[in-house]
């Protein structure tokens, strides 16, 4: 039987990065197979082909972001987000320059997005995780009011690509503006920008709504409250977390418009999803990584997902809290985002959770059965808890 290599080992043999192998696979330039867990494996024969000088796809010298002391080399591919105006742009974490966008130079590795630290994603790929070009309705409507067209690249550099999830923003190198002068964490951006040249016709939302990931219609009402429009079914999962005695949960309450979630980030602590951390690589399932790092805190989230039939726990729906001053990883972020509940389908609990935390899972399920009668969808909760107890 032919030997197959993980991306990491194949990259070492070929002298490239794992991201380059992903790019080649996506472009159809190499043959990669998928395991039952959807992880890439490279056949030994494909390694031999790529090492052959006469191969159709020659192994090129890999491009990695360089440190500020290195000579500038030609980029493997230009970022999708390109400055439209003259000047040099930097990715900032608060007031610390962390990455020179124009020159592709790492300026402070400790504060880089995790996926750029471990080279799982480029800057432009990371930017794509912060917003979608098919983003939610509130963001689209705000963009139309502010810019007259859906132009995220222009919006990113005009607004600094601010978010209320992290402390990253884009700044011109010669600009004297500081983070505390313009961050929506502090200032009432929701009242309109006074001297920006952008029309002040969006007091119903903030320009930071442009950088709220996902397609669900949502908008920040202020720096503390995120409204998810018409997301009424999401209320019970949060109430169930409370009934189960789980504390690592975002505060949530129901209103006439939908559910309002409290911001769990500050200017000193920001959120980094599993996707943004680069933990969605091919060597291990990201849910298993979460169980390894966060233990019962991650197990509880996946159990609740099972009980409420949330079958869309994506990589941007759970992750880490990081210190915005040091880049240190602190803890698992509070549970949030139960968009796809009562779906009629479930995602299996990771094997590592079942093997290492079976009694904890059973204790949660027994408690869920005890309180199920208090919930509108209690029959589903009770049935799903029974399945886990028998499993």
Quick one: pLDDT at residue 113? Answer: 96
- Between strands 225-229 and 258-262, the pairing is antiparallel
| 303 & 359 share domain | yes
Residue of 236, 233, 232 whose CA lies nearest to 372: 236
pLDDT of residue 200: 45
Mark whether 85 and 46 lie in a shared domain: no
Residue 24 lies in a domain: yes
Residue 37 belongs to some domain of the structure: yes
- H/E stretch holding 383 reads helix 378-390
Determine the pLDDT at residue 65: 41
Find the range with the poorest average confidence among 15-24, 110-119, 192-201, 357-366. 192-201
Last residue of a domain, one of 179, 214, 249: 214
Answer yes or no: do 99 and 191 share one domain. yes
The reported pLDDT for the residue numbered 240 is 97
312 vs 133: which has the higher pLDDT? 312
Residue 202 has a pLDDT of: 44
The answer to whether residue 222 is domain-embedded is no
Q: Looking at the structure, do residues 135 and 38 belong to the same domain, yes or no?
A: no
Residue 256 lies in a domain: no
Q: Is residue 20 located within the same domain as residue 138?
A: no
> What angle do helix axes 296-307 and 235-243 make, rounded to 10 degrees?
130
22-79 pLDDT, tens per residue?
778 766 778 888 765 556 788 888 888 888 755 545 454 444 444 343 333 333 333 3
Give the domain range for residue 11.
4-51
247 within a domain of the structure (yes/no)? no
Instruction: State the SS3 of 46-64.
Output: HHHHHHCCCCCCCCCCCCC
Which of 214, 231, 249 is where one domain is finished? 214
Question: Is 320 part of any domain?
Answer: yes
- Judgement on whether residues 191 and 287 belong to the same structural domain of the protein: no
Rounded CA separation 21/280 (Å): 15
Report whether pLDDT(2) > 70: yes
Residue 84 and residue 181 in one domain: yes
Same domain, 167 and 292: no
How many domains are there within the chain? Answer: 3
Tokens encoding 72: 């500038």
More confident residue, 143 or 11: 11
Residue at token pair 């094997």: 351
Q: What is the pLDDT of residue 60?
A: 47
pLDDT at 139: 77
Summarised one tens digit per residue, pLDDT across range 68-84 is 433 333 333 333 444 44
Whether residue 273 sits in one domain with residue 355:
yes
pLDDT in tens, 130-150: 876 666 777 777 777 667 666
Kindly give, in sequence order, each residue whose CB lies less than 8 Å from that of residue 257, ignoring residues fewer than 6 positions away.
227, 229, 230
- 249 inside domain: no
In terms of Cβ atoms closer than 10 Å to its own Cβ (0-12, 13-18, 19+), residue 273 is buried
What's the chain's average pLDDT? 81
- Tell me, yes or no, whether 254 lies in a domain: no
Are residues 204 and 149 located together in one domain of the fold?
yes
Task: Tell me: do 362 and 278 sit in the same domain.
Answer: yes
Residue 18 pLDDT exceeds 70 = yes
Q: What is the pLDDT of residues 325-349, one digit of tens each?
A: 999 999 999 999 998 899 999 999 9
What is the spatial distance between Cα 386 and Cα 361, in angstroms, rounded to a whole number? 11
CATH, residue 44: 1.10.1660.10
The CA distances from residue 94 to 102, 111, 128, 266, in Å, are 19, 10, 20, 11
The percent of residues in the chain predicted with pLDDT above 70, rounded, is: 79
- The answer on pLDDT for 193 being more than 50 is no
């Amino acid at each position: 039987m032919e030997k197959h290599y993980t991306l990491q080992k194949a990259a070492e043999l070929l002298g490239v990065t794992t991201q380059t192998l992903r790019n080649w696979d996506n472009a159809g330039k190499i043959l990669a197979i998928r395991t039952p867990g959807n992880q890439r494996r490279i056949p030994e024969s494909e390694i031999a082909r790529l090492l052959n000088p006469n191969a159709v796809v020659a192994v090129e010298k890999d491009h990695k972001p360089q440190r500020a002391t290195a000579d500038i080399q030609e980029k493997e591919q230009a970022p999708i987000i390109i400055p439209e105006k003259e000047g040099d742009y930097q990715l900032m974490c608060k007031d610390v320059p962390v990455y020179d966008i124009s020159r592709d130079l790492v300026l402070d590795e400790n504060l880089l997005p995790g996926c750029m630290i471990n080279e799982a994603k480029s800057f432009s790929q990371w930017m794509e995780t912060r917003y979608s070009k098919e983003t939610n309705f509130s963001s689209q409507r705000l963009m139309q009011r502010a810019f007259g067209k859906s132009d995220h690249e222009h919006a990113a550099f005009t607004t600094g690509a601010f978010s209320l999830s992290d402390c990253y923003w884009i700044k011109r190198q010669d600009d004297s503006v500081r983070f505390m002068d313009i961050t929506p964490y502090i200032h009432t951006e929701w009242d309109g920008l006074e001297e920006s040249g952008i029309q002040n016709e969006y007091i119903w939302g903030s320009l930071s709504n442009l950088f709220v990931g996902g397609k669900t219609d949502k908008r920040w009402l202020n720096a503390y409250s995120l409204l998810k429009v018409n997301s009424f079914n999401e209320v019970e999962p949060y109430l169930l977390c409370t009934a189960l005695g789980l504390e690592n949960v975002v505060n949530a309450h129901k209103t006439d418009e939908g559910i309002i979630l409290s911001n769990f980030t500050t200017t000193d602590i920001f959120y980094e999803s599993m996707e943004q951390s680069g933990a969605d690589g091919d060597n291990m399932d990201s849910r298993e990584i979460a169980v390894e790092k966060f233990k019962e805190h991650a197990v509880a989230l996946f159990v609740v997902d099972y009980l409420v039939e949330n079958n869309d726990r994506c990589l941007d729906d759970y992750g880490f809290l990081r210190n915005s001053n040091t880049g240190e990883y602190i803890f698992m972020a509070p549970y949030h985002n139960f968009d796809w509940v009562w779906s009629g389908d479930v995602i299996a609990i990771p094997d590592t959770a079942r093997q290492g935390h079976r009694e904890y899972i059973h204790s949660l399920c027994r408690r869920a059965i005890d309180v199920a009668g208090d919930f509108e969808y209690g029959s589903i909760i009770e049935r799903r808890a029974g399945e886990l107890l028998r499993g």
